[in-house]
Structure 1
């Protein structure tokens, strides 16, 4: 049995070219490096990354990924497989599985092709390489503290964790952000890139982020959404400025105060009117 661990980085000596690439020697073992590179020469020493092919055979590659057994790196999602997980590209010839066990229970927030996960590598009980999304402890350990000057500034990040409490993001600068469900119109996916604004800088250096537009911009969008809702329901709706806040949030994904502002705008523009606890298009 091979003593080489998949996911490890090794010094290898070039042997000879073969049909599928090159043979390299690592200690007492010889592995295939399935890459065409005319600059490689017999006897040359290179650094390689060890991985397995689909049949479980150990191979070597000159591509050293950022995501390793002891470090994290961003990896684009290539394929989503129902009940299995997602496959990500860490920069080697083989895509690596992120198990469904390490993804949210709600599949609507699973990543899709093109999203990016911040992962490290692990080896399962069968000796196979897996990719593991970053955990909260490691995020906090590597935290870049945010300055109070960031308050109200725009920020872009990728979602790395999703819970009932809200969504957690890592920003381009390395800040850790939190998005409360009330600060978004829809729940973002794990790995999705989102842009919002900083609404609070916490004492521990983390930030709270809102994905909602500013009031004036939001009022216009909310008013358009309300009109569209009424159009789809025969020009009327069971909602008014007296309606239950939770019913409003569940239907329109906005607060009651935002709903009242948008509704007031429509009434002022003579596009809607309220009567008997209902609202009608004009």
Structure 2
């Protein structure tokens, strides 16, 4: 089987003046034993243009290629590696636009079309980067892109649990917060109140599943907000004090950027951790410094 829009390992079954015919490797026999007979089913072959090949290929040789489709829906093979394959969601640059869609650079000679019907608002601004999902359209027999991600990715996921650490890709900013793609599989939201560091569309960041709502929608935080996360931050503060002779000038009055740079947490979380350590009599607080109590050294 040939997977359209993906990298395939195919076998050379014939050579023509203009290129090589490639076919799937039979699964019921070792790859080196039998050469696929292209006459059995011409629909299972795809052509690799001769000008793409630096050295002559032999019949029966295996080659790794990307299988794409042209404007007419005809398949072709290329040795070029695209920036995105069918089923993936990546950040791509808009390079041109027409009255029927926008074109994006996906690393191949022919740009990726995102038709108007699959575009989110303002995804025709040339030179801008957008989060694009790629799919194979059976109707047009073409590989297309979409910036309307909800057409392909769900806003809920059975595999996620609260507290899971996940990878996030920001794809939109709203009045509520930042919409993100979670693990390239589903959609979620980081509320503005949980976005303690600057975020922008196209930015990748690590997050933690904060809440899975009754309707299945997922809220993401940039830091752990459970007891495990609080305990880990408190211990990190103590370890940092020990490493610096029992004193730190990073207080609850410090800039949020300085706190995030040092501990990768929000100022609010840092202040809560300091308060907890103070109540436990592990540290002493002053306007200009934090000091580790002697019993903790």
TM-score w.r.t. length of structure 2: 0.49
**Alpha-carbon contact 1:143-1:175 (below 8 Å) kept:** yes
Residues 120 and 274 from structure 1, CA distance in 2 versus in 1: closer, same or farther, beyond 3 angstroms?
A: closer
Residue 29 (structure 2) pairs with residue 32 (structure 1):
no
Distance in 1 between residues matched to 2:267 and 2:66, nearest whole Å: 48
- Kindly provide the CA deviation profile for residues 9-35 of structure 1, in whole angstroms up to 9, marking residues without a partner as x: 9xxxxxxxxxx832167xxx7631467
Q: How far 1:157 moved relative to its partner?
A: 5.6
Distance in 2 between residues matched to 1:8 and 1:253, nearest whole Å: 38
Q: Show structure 1 runs of 5+ residues with no match.
A: 1-6, 10-19, 71-91, 100-115
- State the secondary structure of the residue aligned to 2:52: coil
TM-score w.r.t. length of structure 1: 0.51
Distance in 2 between residues matched to 1:119 and 1:157, nearest whole Å: 16
**Alpha-carbon contact 2:156-2:217 (below 8 Å) kept:** yes
Alignment-derived partner of residue 47 in structure 1: 44
Residues 239 and 159 from structure 1, CA distance in 2 versus in 1: closer, same or farther, beyond 3 angstroms?
A: closer
1:134 to 132, 135, 158: 132
Distance in 2 between residues matched to 1:179 and 1:163, nearest whole Å: 11
Distance in 1 between residues matched to 2:107 and 2:283, nearest whole Å: 64
- What value does the CA root-mean-square deviation take over the aligned residues? 5.5
Alignment-derived partner of residue 264 in structure 1: 275
Distance in 1 between residues matched to 2:286 and 2:228, nearest whole Å: 27
Residue 207 (structure 2) pairs with residue 226 (structure 1):
no
Aligned length: 220
Residue 31 (structure 2) pairs with residue 21 (structure 1):
no
Q: How far 1:139 moved relative to its partner?
A: 0.6
Q: How far 1:279 moved relative to its partner?
A: 0.6
Q: Show structure 2 runs of 5+ residues with no match.
A: 26-30, 72-76, 93-102, 114-130, 134-145
Q: How far 1:262 moved relative to its partner?
A: 1.6
